[in-house]
Chain A
Amino acid sequence: MLRLARTTLLLLLLTFTTLAWAGSDAQSATQPVDQELAQKSVQFKDFAVAKIQQLNRNHALSRERMQVTRLADGSYKGLFHQINEQNMEVKVRRSSSKSVPYVGIISYQEQIFEAQAPTLAQLDRREFDLVQIIPNKHLFSYKKGDWQ
């Protein structure tokens, strides 16, 4: 009886081990082959976040550099651009160049906001409306170990 139990146990253990081994083989077959590309994608995502912040910081019509126009009725109209950081998308692909092995694309929305108010002080406190969207694709190259 004891021998039978031991044999059964061994057989079960063998079965589970075989199944687990087969499973891991199957799993490894579906894993992405291009680990480097995946790595560069992660890197590019970090680059993209910083790049969008840089674009917003330097935009000639950023919120801090709002375009203000005096209207015929004496009121003020304000306008500024802002890139939407929330819905940007990134994509990286390999290129055939040895010096520039990767190209990255950041897709984002450049949003234009407007508001109107009787005084400048009120304009500053006013809630701005989104009036225009400019879809953008910004291309970058990976060169000498860095995105540029």
Chain B
Amino acid sequence: MKKFTLVSILIGLALCLALPLTASAEVVKKADNFILFLDQSGSMTHESQAALGQNKLDHAKATITRLDQVIPELGYTGSGAVFAPYKVVAEPAVYKTNSLSSDFASAAPGFNLKTTLGDGLTDIGPLVGGLTGKTALIIFTDGDSNSGSDAVASAQALYAANADKLCIHVVSYADTANGEQVIAAIRALSGCSVAADAAALNDDAALAQFAKDVLYKDVKPAPVVKKPAPVVKPAPVIKKEVITFNLLFDFDKADIKDEMIPMLEQAKMILDEEAGSVFTVAGHTDASGPEAYNQGLSERRSAAVKTWLVENGVAANRLKTTGFGETQPKYDNTTDEGRRLNRRVELISTPVAM
């Protein structure tokens, strides 16, 4: 049992080490779909002048197999087709690594050995048009289009039919001047085209770079921006209650007149309702007259109000008095209206701590 546990732990560790480290960068698709498009014409069965070590068609199939192993699973729709003659060998499907190369195994030149690249580009139109999003069309060809429609014109028409959704990339097996010219012209039709020569893709790093250049890119993850905590505005502070009344004292007088009594009675009723509060009786004047005079007048008037309230049943210890004179104008003293409003008595409450 102990041995089994030890072996299991060791296997687990080995697996962890074997797994590729996840890239710190984020990988973003450059295309939504890709089509591997293989030229299976007669010219592709010739030995290449470049040191491929095998005929061009076999080399292309092997390159497709190796490419199929390095394309990451990023949700592409992958498909495969051959031309000369044209045939879809792998219908569009969600791409899984190493899923397409076997579909090209049976590719072989047909009876007609001519290279019909132009016709192939025309025939693949519906497959390209039926895909949603951006498509990378990766053609493996020697460019020898010696039959059928003009290859460059067909490529142009394919671009025109698919607006900005298509990019044609050519893996060149050209070993003739004509083939090189055709491939160069097709590549030049769009600035997005990634060029690759078959021999160069023998190198694994170059192949991986080609796949990356065509299909995806590394993107530095955006810095994490912490959302600022929502600002919670504090609830407004509730201040002491103020009871205001404008008692029309006679000029320079602090006597309580009969016509003031209804308002004083009402004030007393409010004080009775708030039996738990102590009140400050504050006298105010407008800014007319000398300040010292106004100070004294406001003190006398607030005292008169307190006297009346106490004489009519309010406990004396619930009432303090103060005169503010003209020092605390609540209203604009530059207008008659404002000055009239400033001539006031206020009862300011202070709840008594229980």
Listed stretches B1-9, B207-215, B217-225, B237-245; interface member:
B237-245
Residues of B within 8 A of A131 (CB): 234, 236-237
- In the complex the two chains form, what is the Cα distance from A139 to B344 in whole Å? 11
Residues of B within 8 A of A132 (CB): 236-239
Q: Nearest chain A CB to B208's CB is how many angstroms away?
A: 54
Looking across the interface, which residue of chain B has its beta carbon closest to that of A106? Answer: B244
- In the complex the two chains form, what is the Cα distance from A139 to B247 in whole Å? 10
Q: Is the CB of B262 within 8 A of A100?
A: yes
Listed stretches A13-21, A26-34, A55-63; interface member:
A55-63
Q: Is the CB of A99 within 8 A of B259?
A: yes
Looking across the interface, which residue of chain A has its beta carbon closest to that of B341? Answer: A58
Q: Is the CB of A139 within 8 A of B263?
A: yes
Chain A binding site: helix, strand, loop or mixed by DSSP? strand
Say whether A74 faces chain B, with CB atoms less than 8 Å apart.
Answer: no
The list of the 6 closest CB pairs from A to B, nearest first, reads A95-B262, A139-B245, A100-B262, A58-B331, A58-B338, A135-B241
Q: Is the CB of B335 within 8 A of A58?
A: yes
The total of Cβ contacts below 8 Å across the A-B interface reads: 95
Given contacts A97-B259, A130-B236, A143-B259, 15 further A-B contacts (CB under 8 A): A58-B332, A58-B335, A59-B330, A93-B266, A96-B262, A100-B261, A100-B262, A105-B266, A129-B233, A132-B237, A134-B240, A138-B244, A139-B243, A141-B262, A141-B263
Q: Is the CB of A60 within 8 A of B258?
A: no
Q: Is the CB of B331 within 8 A of A137?
A: no
Residues of A within 8 A of B331 (CB): 55, 58-60
Q: Is the CB of A137 within 8 A of B244?
A: yes
Q: Which residues of chain B from 312 to 349 have any CB-CB distance to chain A below 8 Å in the complex?
A: 329-333, 335, 337-338, 341
Looking across the interface, which residue of chain A has its beta carbon closest to that of B241? Answer: A135
- In the complex the two chains form, what is the Cα distance from A134 to B348 in whole Å? 10
Residues of B within 8 A of A8 (CB): none
Say whether A54 faces chain B, with CB atoms less than 8 Å apart.
Answer: yes
- In the complex the two chains form, what is the Cα distance from A108 to B333 in whole Å? 23
Q: Is the CB of B332 within 8 A of A60?
A: yes
Q: Is the CB of A136 within 8 A of B244?
A: yes
Say whether B270 faces chain A, with CB atoms less than 8 Å apart.
Answer: yes
What is the number of residues of chain B that contact chain A, defined by CB distance less than 8 Å? Answer: 31
Looking across the interface, which residue of chain B has its beta carbon closest to that of A130? Answer: B236
- In the complex the two chains form, what is the Cα distance from A129 to B234 in whole Å? 9
Residues of A within 8 A of B270 (CB): 105, 137
Q: Is the CB of A139 within 8 A of B244?
A: yes
Residues of B within 8 A of A70 (CB): none
Say whether A41 faces chain B, with CB atoms less than 8 Å apart.
Answer: no
Indicate with 1 or 0, residue by residue over B263-299, a CB within 8 angstroms of chain A CB atoms: 1011100100000000000000000000000000000
Q: Is the CB of B341 within 8 A of A141?
A: no
Residues of B within 8 A of A99 (CB): 258-259
- In the complex the two chains form, what is the Cα distance from A110 to B244 in whole Å? 12
> Pick the contact of A135 from B238, B259, B337 — CB < 8 Å?
B238
Say whether A65 faces chain B, with CB atoms less than 8 Å apart.
Answer: yes
- In the complex the two chains form, what is the Cα distance from A140 to B260 in whole Å? 10
- In the complex the two chains form, what is the Cα distance from A59 to B245 in whole Å? 16
Q: Nearest chain B CB to A147's CB is how many angstroms away?
A: 12
Residues of A within 8 A of B245 (CB): 138-140
Q: Is the CB of A103 within 8 A of B266?
A: yes
Q: Which residues of chain A from 38 to 65 have any CB-CB distance to chain B below 8 Å in the complex?
A: 54-55, 57-60, 65
Q: Nearest chain A CB to B64's CB is how many angstroms away?
A: 64
